[in-house]
Chain A
Amino acid sequence: MSLLGALHTGGSSLAAQQAALQVTGNNISNAGTAGYSRQVVDLASTGPADIGNGQYTGNGVGVQSIERQVSAALNESVRGASSDQASAQTSNTVLSQLETTFGALNDNDLASRMTDFFNSFSTLANNPADEGQRAVVIQNGSTLAGYLQQLRGQVSTIGTNLSAQVTSNAQQANTLVTQIADLNKQIASTGTAGIGATNALLDQRDQALSQLAGIMDIKVIDQGGGNLNVLVGGMPVVQGTLSRGVQVGTTTDASGNLVQQLQFSDNGDTMNASGGTLGALLTAQSQDVTPALNEIDSIAAGLIQAVNQIHTQGQGSAGFTSVTGTTQVTDPTAALNASSITTGIAFPPNNGTFNLYITDGSGQTTTQQITVNLSGQGAQTTLNSLAASITAAGGGTVSASVDTAGHLQITSSDPHVTFGFGDDTSGALASLGVNTFFSGKNASDIAVNSVLTNDPDHLATGRDNVAGSNRNAQALALAGSAAVASLGGKSVQDAYAAYTADLAAKTQTASDSVTATTTIYQSLYAQQQSISGVSLDEEAINLTQYQRAFEGSARFINVVNQMMQTVLTLIQ
Chain B
Amino acid sequence: MSVVPLQIGRVSMQMTGTLLAGTLNNTQSDLLKVQQQLSTGQRLTLASDDPTAAIGIMQLNRQLAGNTQYSSNLNFANSFLAQADGSLGTVSDLINQASSIASSEVGAGASSDERASQAQVVDSMITQLLNLANTQYQGQSVFAGAATGNAAFVAAGAGYQYNGSTDSQGVLGEDGTTIDYTVNGGQVFGGLSAQVASTQSLNPALTSATRLADLNGAVGNGIGTGPVTITVGSTSVTADLSHAATAGDVVNIVNAALTGAGSDASIGLSGGGFAVTGDSTQALTIADAAGGSTAKDLGISGTVAAAGTLAGTNVGPKVTVTTPLSALNGGAGIDPSGIVISNGGTSATIPLAGLNTVGDLLNAINNAGNGNLHVQASINAAGTGINLLNPVSGSNMTVGENGGSTASALGIRSMSASTKVADLNGGAGIGTASATMQGPTGQIVITRTDGTSFNVTLDGVKSVSQLIAAINSASGNTTVTATLNGTGNGITLTDTSGGAGNLSVTGGTNFNANGSLLGIFQTGTGGTLTGTDITFSTDDFRITRHDGTSFSVNVSGAATIQDVLNAINNADGNGNPANKVTASLNANGNGISLSDASAGSGALAVTATNGSAAATGLGIAGSSVSATLNGQDVNPISPTGLFSSLIMLRNALLNNDTTGIQRAATLLSQNSTQVATARGIIGAREQDISARQTTATNENTALQSALSLLSDTDMTTTITKFQQLQTSYQAALQTAETTRNLSLLDFLTS
Using a CB–CB cutoff of 8 Å, the interface residues on chain A facing chain B are 31-32, 34, 38, 95-96, 99-100, 104-105, 111-112, 115-116, 119, 122-123, 125-130, 317, 350-353, 355, 362, 364-369, 371-378, 425-426, 466-471, 474, 477-478, 481, 493, 497, 500-501, 503-508, 511, 515-516, 518-519, 522-523, 525-527, 529-538, 540-541, 543-544
Contacts and interface: CB of A to CB of B under 8 A. Distances in A.
B147 A466 contact: yes
B496 interface: no
A526 B149 contact: no
Contact of B149 (A129, A371, A425, A518): A129
B48 A526 contact: no
Contact of B743 (A426, A519, A536): A536
A129 B141 CA distance: 11
Contacts of B367: 362, 364
Contact of B69 (A95, A122, A469, A511): A122
A105 B44 contact: yes
A369 B211 CA distance: 9
B68 to A, nearest CB: 8
B46 A100 contact: yes
Contact of B178 (A130, A474, A540): A474
B46 A469 contact: no
B76 A126 contact: yes
Given A100-B46, A540-B745, A373 B2 contact: no
B366 A533 contact: no
B61 interface: yes
A426 B211 CA distance: 12
5 contacts: A32-B13, A350-B245, A378-B252, A425-B245, A540-B748
A141 B404 CA distance: 57
Interface stretch (B51-59, B337-345, B425-433): B51-59
- The listed residue with most A CB atoms (<10 A of its CB), out of B14, B150, B211, B244, is B14
A423 B510 CA distance: 79
B236 to A, nearest CB: 19
B742 to A, nearest CB: 9
A533 B54 contact: no
Nearest to B163: A467
Interface in B34-64: 42, 44-51, 54-55, 57-59, 61-62
B681 interface: no
B69 A497 contact: no
Given A112-B61, A530-B11, 8 more contacts: A96-B48, A112-B65, A129-B139, A130-B138, A378-B248, A518-B2, A519-B3, A534-B14
Contacts of B10: 529-531, 533, 535, 538
Nearest to B359: A367
Contacts of B57: 105
B165 interface: yes
A468 B54 contact: no
A466 B150 CA distance: 9
Contacts of B357: 367
B146 interface: yes
B147 A371 contact: no
B138 to A, nearest CB: 5
B716 interface: no
Given A468-B141, A533-B13, A104 B211 contact: no
Interface residues of B, number: 86
B609 to A, nearest CB: 50
Interface stretch (B92-100, B168-176, B394-402, B453-461): B168-176
Contacts of A508: 48-51
Contacts of B363: 364-366
Contact of B48 (A374, A478, A511): A511
Contact of A366 (B47, B171, B359): B359
B171 A362 contact: no
A119 B246 contact: no
Given A127-B140, A501-B47, A505-B51, A317 B149 contact: yes
Contact of B322 (A119, A368, A497): A368
A38 to B, nearest CB: 8
Nearest to B10: A530
A149 B223 CA distance: 42
Interface string B572-608: 0000000000000000000000000000000000000
A541 B744 contact: yes
A253 B249 CA distance: 42
Contacts of A504: 46-48, 51, 54-55
Nearest to B167: A466
A367 B322 contact: yes
B55 A529 contact: no
A469 B146 CA distance: 6
Contact of B4 (A425, A481, A506, A522): A522
Contacts of A369: 209, 211, 322
Contacts of B748: 540, 543-544
A115 to B, nearest CB: 4
Contact of A375 (B58, B139, B147, B249): B249
Interface of B: 2-15, 18-19, 22, 42, 44-51, 54-55, 57-59, 61-62, 65-66, 68-69, 72-73, 76-77, 138-141, 144, 146-150, 165, 167, 169-172, 176, 178, 209, 211, 213, 243-246, 248-249, 252-253, 255-256, 321-322, 357, 359-360, 363, 366-367, 371, 711, 743-745, 748
Contacts of B213: 425
Nearest to A481: B176
B58 A111 contact: yes
Nearest to B75: A126
Nearest to A368: B322
A525 B8 CA distance: 10
Contact of A526 (B4, B256, B321): B4
- The listed residue with most A CB atoms (<10 A of its CB), out of B249, B360, B371, is B249
A22 to B, nearest CB: 18
A113 to B, nearest CB: 11
Given A375-B244, A377-B256, A469-B147, A534 B140 contact: no
A533 B140 contact: no
Contacts of A543: 748
A526 B6 contact: yes
Contacts of B322: 355, 367-369
B685 to A, nearest CB: 15
Nearest to B6: A526
A515 B744 CA distance: 35
- The listed residue with most A CB atoms (<10 A of its CB), out of B13, B138, B252, B255, is B13
A104 B47 contact: yes
Contact of B47 (A351, A500, A531): A500
Contact of B14 (A111, A364, A533): A533
B327 to A, nearest CB: 13
A351 B244 contact: yes
Contacts of B165: 466
Given A353-B245, A371-B246, A477-B172, A467 B178 contact: no
Contacts of B6: 523, 526
B630 to A, nearest CB: 33
Nearest to B742: A537
A533 B12 contact: yes
Given A364-B363, A537-B744, A466 B245 contact: no
Contact of A123 (B54, B72, B147): B72
B99 to A, nearest CB: 34
Given A531-B10, A534-B14, A111 B51 contact: no
B15 A503 contact: no
A117 to B, nearest CB: 11
A128 B172 CA distance: 13
B498 to A, nearest CB: 82
B13 A352 contact: no
Contact of A534 (B9, B13, B22, B150): B13
B35 to A, nearest CB: 18
B359 A469 contact: no
Nearest to B244: A375
A376 to B, nearest CB: 7
A534 B12 contact: yes
